């Protein structure tokens, strides 16, 4: 058994294990990468349902660029911009305390957030109580004067931020502005727009474009299904081409991205998306064998350099072989219900690797 957080007792772990193995599991690229790199982390994340920390700044930046390029209408539902001007320390501590009070009230009514007032101004009495407990602004003569110190526009903005932060991805103003610059530059790049099926001339042929589409398959030789969320999929019916485009934001210069493909094992992601696309075509396109399928990374770096990197058929074949080997390791972990160590160790007597 892997090392697990101490708060999970044996009965809880066994229950979660039973639920996990009784429910069909869809293996994504990130899940496969985690399982073959650190089975214990996979166990904690997917079996015990203990999620790790929020995504890094770089990951959030990438998600934001995806959104503004592919689905800008979902920005307000997905992201929350950190307030540009925050209240000073003392008022912020009061607001945090009032927010915690409201959170406990919500819990007391069964978690129904709609039953509890959301406007900051509805909590004046609680604000005053917290100010008194903290001996804050008590030298002022009236409650109105005390409330003015805490209930200004900056405080209201911060309160709205607290109410929304648990359900959305937090990004700062500078990150949003950078993503807007990327989206603006993309609109001027005719080649990338063509590849991704954006504003194509109708005379160039009939196409169908899918953004952030989920594809799944259930191979009979694996104890789990496979899943992928493809950023951009273009089916060109006239020219009989299928273009799989995966957006990547890199912190390095764009010419160094091939190093990131290996480091982050993006080759596994590309192979997965390619396989899932073929399965989709088989099920939905009668003459799918006549179509040429191409995979590209569309890469953006910190210098606002943007370009596509096409994966050759020879390279994709190599990545397929490597991914198949990783799938076999994952299959072993599932069939043996062993998530203690990576396959190279766990599959050996006494978990001992001989080199």
Q: List the beta bridge partners of residue 117.
A: none
pLDDT given for residue 130 in this prediction:
92
Q: Give the single-character DSSP code of 74.
A: G
**Model pTM?**
0.81
Q: Are 219 and 277 in contact (CB under 8 A)?
A: no
Non-local CB neighbours of 227 within 8 Å, separated by 6+ positions: 26, 27, 28, 214, 215, 216, 276
Q: CB atoms < 10 A from the CB of 188, how many?
A: 9
Burial 337-350 (b: 16+ CB within 10 A, else e): ebbebbbeebeeee
**Cα distance between residue 96 and residue 131, in whole Å:** 12
The dihedral region occupied by 137, where left means phi > 0, alpha psi between -120 and 50, and beta the remainder, is left
pLDDT given for residue 3 in this prediction:
44
Q: Are 171 and 64 in contact (CB under 8 A)?
A: yes
DSSP secondary structure, 263-280, as one string:
HTTHHHHHHHHHHHHHHH
pLDDT given for residue 7 in this prediction:
59
Residues of the chain where predicted confidence (pLDDT) is lower than 50? 1-6
Q: Are 80 and 170 in contact (CB under 8 A)?
A: yes
pLDDT given for residue 165 in this prediction:
84
pLDDT given for residue 52 in this prediction:
59
**Hey, what domains does the chain have and what are their CATH numbers?**
10-44+189-340 (3.90.320.10), 83-170 (no CATH)
pLDDT given for residue 55 in this prediction:
54
Q: Decide the pairing of beta strands 26-27 and 306-311.
A: unpaired
C-alpha dihedral, 43 to 48 to 53 to 55, nearest 10°? 70
């Amino acid at each position: 058994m892997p090392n697990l957080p101490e708060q999970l007792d044996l009965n809880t772990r066994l229950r979660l294990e039973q639920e996990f193995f009784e429910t069909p599991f869809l293996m994504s690229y990130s899940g496969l990468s985690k399982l073959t790199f650190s089975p214990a982390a996979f166990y904690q994340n997917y079996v015990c349902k203990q999620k790790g920390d929020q995504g890094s700044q770089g990951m959030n930046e990438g998600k934001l660029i995806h959104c503004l390029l592919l689905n800008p209408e979902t920005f307000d539902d997905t992201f929350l911009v950190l307030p540009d001007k925050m209240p000073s320390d003392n008022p912020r501590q009061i607001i945090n305390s009032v927010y915690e009070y409201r959170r406990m009230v919500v819990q007391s009514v069964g978690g129904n957030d709609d039953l509890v007032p959301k406007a900051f101004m509805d909590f004046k009495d609680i604000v005053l109580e917290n100010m008194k407990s903290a001996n804050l602004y008590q030298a002022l003569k009236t409650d109105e004067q005390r409330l003015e110190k805490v209930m200004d526009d900056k405080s209201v903005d911060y309160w709205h931020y607290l109410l929304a932060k648990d359900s959305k991805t937090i990004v700062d103003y500078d990150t949003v502005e950078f993503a807007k610059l990327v989206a603006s530059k993309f609109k001027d790049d005719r080649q990338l727009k063509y590849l991704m099926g954006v504003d194509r001339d109708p005379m160039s042929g009939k196409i169908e474009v899918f953004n952030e589409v989920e594809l799944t398959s259930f191979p009979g030789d694996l104890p789990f299904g496979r899943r992928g969320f493809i950023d951009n999929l273009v089916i060109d019916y006239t020219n009989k081409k299928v273009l799989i485009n995966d957006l990547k934001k890199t912190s390095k210069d764009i010419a160094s991205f091939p190093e990131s493909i290996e480091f982050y094992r993006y080759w596994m992601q590309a192979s997965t998306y390619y396989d899932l696309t073929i399965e989709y075509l088989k099920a939905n396109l009668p003459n799918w064998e006549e179509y040429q399928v191409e995979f590209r990374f569309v890469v953006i770096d910190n210098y606002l350099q943007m370009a596509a990197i096409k994966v050759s058929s020879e390279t994709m074949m190599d990545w397929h072989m490597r991914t198949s080997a990783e799938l076999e390791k994952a299959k072993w972990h599932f069939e043996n219900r062993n998530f203690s160590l990576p396959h190279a160790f766990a599959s050996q007597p006494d978990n001992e690797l001989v080199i």
